[in-house]
Amino acid sequence: MKVSLFSSPRTRSLACVAVLAAMASAVPAQQHNPVPTRVKVESYGTASGTPEPSSAFRTRLDTNAIGESVVRISAGWPGELAGLFLGRQSQALTLPFNATLLVDPLQVTYSSFDLAGNFAVPLDLADTSLIGSLYFQGLNYLVPGPGKPAIVVFQLTQGLKLTVVPGNEQPQLPYAGPPLTTTLVASQVPGDTFQLLNRIVVPSTDWDLRLESVDARNGVTRVYLTLEAPNPNVGLLPVLETKRLRVDVGSPAERIEVHIQQVTRGVPSLPAFFLAAVIETSF
């Protein structure tokens, strides 16, 4: 008589757990670099052009976007030409229409503004090829026509500067789960706070990444995250997914620690947080 390995619900559950563990082990282990970059954000110069731009017309780094962060131009003319200049150096070049080009452009991306007057270009802030200074400026352009201004509109936003520096050296990290990447965004734009952009590559669907708490003690800002694996009895698609979570950390201490606990949905466990990344905020 043959005996099935999946002859009982408990055995099936244990087998599913084993499969999930094997899938997790297939994800590359965290190798000393959960903090590849840190980013400082600031604006410079002023918006210019014809007619005089409103204060809402600006270029900014948007870390609230679904997926990767984006460089966003806001308050352009819906459906009309949008452009984004990108360079490694700034400048102040006088153009027609009382406009000033604040970027020495290496690349120009053109499209059109959406119905809300926005145009966005994705930017992976954890990409080490970005290390150095990046300068951006947005363009709004349209010619006269029905339902449009009676003059040519040629406007440029203020400049946006991103300073991308390498991540700091990491200590021994006891966290051994799916790989974490975290990027500190240190914004000097008025009204913005420091943020941590966290992402974890997981081996299947139905995982959850959430914030538990943030506290500051003894000169260290600690961020506590929970990574929840799906219940092993639920059908899963074995495809890699990236879970993302932005955490506002206000004005943090000189050192930020990210601690992660791993749990399985529907399976009781004791809280156990492990150090997964250390970020130095002075750079």
274 or 24, greater pLDDT: 274
Give the mean model confidence (pLDDT) for residues 265-270.
89
Question: Residues near 145 by Cβ (< 8 Å), separated by ≥ 6?
Answer: none
* 92-103 confidence digits (pLDDT tens): 999 999 999 999
The yes-or-no verdict on residue 211 having pLDDT over 50 is yes
Quick one: pLDDT at residue 14? 35
Instruction: Look at residue 118 in the predicted model and tell me its pLDDT.
Output: 98
Which pLDDT value is given to residue 16?
38
Cis peptide before 268 (omega within 30 of 0): no
Beta-strand ranges (E) seen in the chain are 37-44, 48-50, 58-62, 70-74, 81-95, 99-112, 119-122, 132-142, 153-156, 159-166, 180-187, 194-202, 208-217, 220-229, 241-250, 255-264, 274-280
Say if residue 111's pLDDT is above 70: yes
Is 90 exceeded by the pLDDT of residue 4? no
Look at residue 65 in the predicted model and tell me its pLDDT.
65
pLDDT at 9 over 80: no
More confident site: 21 or 198: 198
Predicted structure pTM score: 0.84
Residue 186 tokens read as 């240190």
Q: Where are the domains of the chain?
A: 41-165, 168-280
- Count CB neighbours of 279 within 10 A: 25
Mean pLDDT across 255-278: 95
Averaged pLDDT for residues 119-145: 97
Determine the pLDDT at residue 166. 97
* Residue, of 46 and 10, whose pLDDT is higher: 46
Q: Kindly state the percentage of the chain with pLDDT values over 70.
A: 87
Of the pLDDT bands very low, low, confident and very high (cuts 50, 70, 90), residue 29 is very low
Q: What is the mean pLDDT of residues 146-164?
A: 96
Structural contact between residues 160 and 136, judged by C-beta atoms closer than 8 angstroms = yes
Q: Which of 66-80, 110-124, 225-239 has the highest mean pLDDT?
A: 110-124
CA 99 to chain centroid: 31
State the fold for domain 41-165: Immunoglobulin-like (2.60.40)
* Per-residue pLDDT, 24: 39
Look at residue 8 in the predicted model and tell me its pLDDT.
40
Q: Determine the pLDDT at residue 190.
A: 66
